[in-house]
């Protein structure tokens, strides 16, 4: 019984994993907020730069999610890095959400639906709420039941589609480059999994 309880416990991330993911996030977030100071519309550019930051960390998280697909995802070292990257990607997006919904739209839901159209606005709100839930489940659930795994798979797919539609089809320039990079990274990761190519970073937690 004791062995069962111990096996269900999720190991916490190592200090190295936290430093390797938080440090670039903190630097890039600071850069995103400071660079916006050079623009005329500071709040708008802070919203833009922070969602770009979020997409970069989300891209890395998608890759690790795919590479770690069938390697004891709740116990492997790669899972710990994925969870941290996914969390920081969500934090970056929440900063973006703060500057858009709270600062720019002043929490006026009707204004959001009027300007963004019903479909896009609704998908954005669902995307935001679901991402918060997904991150909370990743940190708080002590086991990986089938419903949790299904939920995670569904949101990984949904969030990927949202990013690609928003970056590749709706926002020209830098977002298109980031979206193309996200697609390419995911495709390469899928090739590694489909052809079972060896990945050196995948090891169980000792």
Residuewise pLDDT in 10s, the chain (206 residues): 444 444 455 678 899 999 999 999 999 999 999 999 999 999 999 999 999 999 999 999 999 999 887 656 555 788 899 999 999 999 999 999 999 999 999 999 999 999 988 999 999 999 999 999 999 999 987 656 788 888 999 999 999 999 999 999 988 899 999 999 999 999 999 998 888 765 554 444 33
Instruction: Give pairs for 130-135: CB < 8 Å, separation 24+.
Output: 130/155, 130/158, 130/159, 131/90, 131/93, 131/155, 131/159, 132/90, 132/94, 134/86, 134/90, 135/86, 135/87, 135/90
pTM comes to 0.88
Count of Cβ atoms closer than 10 Å to residue 150 Cβ: 10
Helices 42-67 + 146-164 axis angle, to 10: 130
Query: What is the residue extent of each domain of the chain?
Result: 18-194
pLDDT of residue 197: 64
C-alpha dist (Å) from residue 152 to 17, 21, 53, 126: 21, 21, 22, 15
Sign of CA dihedral 108, 97, 157, 145: negative
């Amino acid at each position: 019984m004791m062995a069962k309880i111990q096996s269900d416990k999720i190991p916490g991330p190592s200090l190295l994993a936290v430093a390797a993911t938080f440090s670039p996030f903190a630097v890039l977030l600071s850069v995103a907020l400071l660079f916006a100071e050079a623009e005329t519309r500071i709040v708008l550019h802070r919203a833009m730069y922070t969602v770009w930051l979020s997409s970069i960390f989300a891209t890395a998280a998608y890759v690790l999610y795919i590479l770690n697909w069938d390697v004891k995802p709740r116990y492997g070292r790669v899972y710990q890095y994925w969870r941290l990257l996914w969390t920081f990607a969500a934090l970056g997006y929440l900063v973006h959400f703060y500057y858009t919904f709270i600062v720019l739209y002043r929490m006026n839901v009707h204004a959001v639906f009027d300007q963004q159209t019903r479909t896009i606005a609704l998908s954005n709100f669902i995307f935001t709420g679901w991402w918060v839930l997904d991150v909370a489940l990743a940190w708080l659930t002590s086991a990986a039941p089938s419903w949790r795994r299904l939920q995670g798979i569904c949101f990984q797919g949904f969030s990927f589609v949202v990013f690609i539609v928003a970056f590749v089809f709706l926002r020209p320039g830098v977002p298109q480059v980031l979206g193309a990079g996200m697609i390419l990274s995911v495709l390469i990761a899928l090739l590694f999994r489909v052809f079972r190519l060896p990945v050196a970073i995948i090891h169980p937690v000792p």
